[in-house]
Structure 1
C-alpha cells in the first residue's frame, strides 16, 4: 500500500507516516475495568480501548510481503516510491505478576496432561547457567522461563515482570521479514499473539528495522535512498491513553482521511544508518534535524533506563563495543 503524502510534508515525516501502524482496536467491557492494574492505568474512564498483539502483527503482514511504499521527493523535484521491508529488531514484554502466575498454571496443566513432559523451551531455560542468562539479557533471545527468570529479572511493580524478549543479531541478509519472525516465535510463545495491550506494563516495547529493497520508477541509482531506519514503539495501553489526547500527527491525519479505525502507534524513538545527502533533511527550518535528534535521544534514554544492550541500535549509531 502506498500512502498519499500531504503538502509541505518532508520526506522524513512521510516515511514515519507510511510506516506507522494503525491497529484495529476493541473496547474493554465495563465489568472488566476494575481488574486493570491501577499503577499502569490510573485514569478513571468510561471506556478503555486496546488491541491484541496479533492484530498489531497483522498490520505488518502486507509490508512484510511486498514492502511499505514511501513517496520520496528527490532534489530534482521528481517523486519516486521507495519500498522498505520491516524486520523485528527487538521486543520486550513486561506483564503483571498475576499474569505470569496464570500462565504458569496453564502450562502446569498442559504438562500434567501430557505426562509431565516439558517443552524444549522450558528445558533450555531451566538448564542454562547464570552466564548464559546474563548473555541472553545482554542481547541474545529468550522467552518465558518460569520462576528462575522471575528471580533473575524481577523488576518493580510499576515495570512489571519480563515474560518475553527477543533481540535480533543476524546480519540483514540473514533475517526474515517481521511477520515471518513473529510466526516463528509464536510457535514457542503463543501469547505473542493473544496478549492485549492492557495486559502489558509501560516498559513493554519493540523496535522495527526498515531496510530498502527497490524503488519505482526503476533504473535510477540514488545513493540517498540507501538509508535504513530503526523505529521504536511502545506496546502498552498506558502510553496510548496519553497519546490519544495528542493524536494530531501525520499518522492521525492518515487515519482520519482514510477512515481507518484503531490505535495509532507512532514511533517514540528512531535511529538511522547510511543517511547521506539532503533528501532526508530537506526542511530548511531545521525541523527534520531537530526531530531526528529528539527521537534518537529518546531511544537512547529508553534503552539506558531498561539497561538493555540493543545490537541494531548500537550498530546504527556506530557503537561497536558498548
Structure 2
C-alpha cells in the first residue's frame, strides 16, 4: 500500500475516517417542515436533509460481516491494514410525542409475533431481561419504562434504549444485534433523523480481529475503541473541527450525511501507533474526545458500562 506523503493522515485520523458512517440522505419537502419540532429544528429552510435509521444500519452491514479496514502507517515506512468489527455498545432514542404514538401502534402489532424474538434472550425472567443489572444486557422500551417517557420537551420521549453488558466474546456484530432488536421495536428501522431529539445517540465498540499482512506483533494493534455518534438531524450542520480534511469533508457531503464520532474512549492503547502525529494533535484529540464523551454521559445521567470499563472506572 502506498500513501501520498503530502496528504498523509495520522493513524488516529485514518481510524476516525474509516469508521465514520456516511448515510444516504433524503429531503423533506418545505410543506412538511412546519411539522418538525421547533425546539429541535429552529431554522427556516427550503429543504431539510435527513436519513432513516434503517439506512444507517446498512452502513454497518459489510463492516459487521468482514470488518472495516484501517490503513496503518508504521515506523520505518511499513504499512498494514488493521480490521475492526463494530458492536452496538449503547443507544438511546428520544422522539416527539406524536412520533411516539405512531410507534406505539406499530410496536403493539409487532407484539403479536413476539415469540420470533425470544431466541435473543436467555431464560431469565422478563423483569431481569429489562433491568440490565442481573442479566447480560439492558434493554428498555417505552412500554416497559413509563416513568422515563415524560421527560421535558427538549429532551423528548424515550422510545428505546439498550446498554450492552456482555463480554466482547459474547456479543454479536452490530448489524446482527440491530436486526434482532428491530423485530420488537420497528422504529429502529423506520424512524428518521429529523424525528429524533438532540439527546439521541449511540455508542459503537470496535474490536480488532486481524491485520494484513499477518505475522507482525505490534502492541498498539490490540487497541479497542468506543465511539459516540449523534442520531439527530439537529447536529448535522455542526462542523466537528479537525475531524477530517477539507477534501474529505467535501467528498462526504456529496455521498450523504456523515456521522463522525463526537466522543471517543480507548482500551489497551499501548505504544505510539495511534499517537503518531509529531505535533501532539493526536494526543490532544484523544483527550478532547474522551472529555466530550464523559460530559455527554453525565448530562444525560447515564451509566455506560463499556465507557466505565474502557476508562477503568469501577462502579459499586
TM-score interval (norm. to shorter) = 0.7 to 0.9
Q: How many residues align?
A: 309
Which residue of structure 2 aligns with residue 124 of structure 1?
Answer: none
Structural mapping, 1:100-139, within 5 Å: 100-107=100-107, 110=109, 119=114
RMSD: 3.0
Q: Matched residue of 1:271: which SS?
A: strand
Counterpart selection for 1:170 from 154, 161, 166: 166
Unaligned regions of 5+ residues in structure 2, if any? Answer: 118-124
Which residue of structure 1 aligns with residue 122 of structure 2?
Answer: none
Deviation digits for residues 201-245 of structure 1 (CA, Å, limit 9, x no counterpart): 0000000000111111111111111101000000000011334xx
- Distance in 1 separating the partners of 2:136 and 2:235: 25
**2:12 is the alignment partner of 1:12:** yes
Structural mapping, 1:1-322, within 5 Å: 7-107=7-107, 110=109, 119=114, 140-146=137-143, 149-243=145-239, 249-250=243-244, 253-254=247-248, 256-257=250-251, 260-321=254-315
Deviation digits for residues 267-308 of structure 1 (CA, Å, limit 9, x no counterpart): 000000011011111112111111000000000010011111
Deviation digits for residues 129-149 of structure 1 (CA, Å, limit 9, x no counterpart): 7x987657x994224243x62
Deviation digits for residues 158-214 of structure 1 (CA, Å, limit 9, x no counterpart): 000111011111111111111111111111111101100000000000000001111
- Distance in 1 separating the partners of 2:290 and 2:67: 24
Paired residues of 1:22 and 1:255 also in contact (CA < 8 A): no
Paired residues of 1:233 and 1:267 also in contact (CA < 8 A): yes
- Distance in 1 separating the partners of 2:93 and 2:280: 36
Q: Please report how far the alpha carbon of residue 9 of structure 1 lies from its aligned counterpart in structure 2 after TM superposition.
A: 1.3
Give the TM-score normalised by structure 2: 0.88
Q: Could you say if the C-alpha distance between residues 4 and 128 of structure 1 is closer, same or farther in structure 2, counting changes exceeding 3 Å?
A: farther
Which aligned segments of 4 or more residues in structure 1 are displaced greater than 6 angstroms? 3-6, 131-134
Q: Could you say if the C-alpha distance between residues 55 and 262 of structure 1 is closer, same or farther in structure 2, counting changes exceeding 3 Å?
A: same
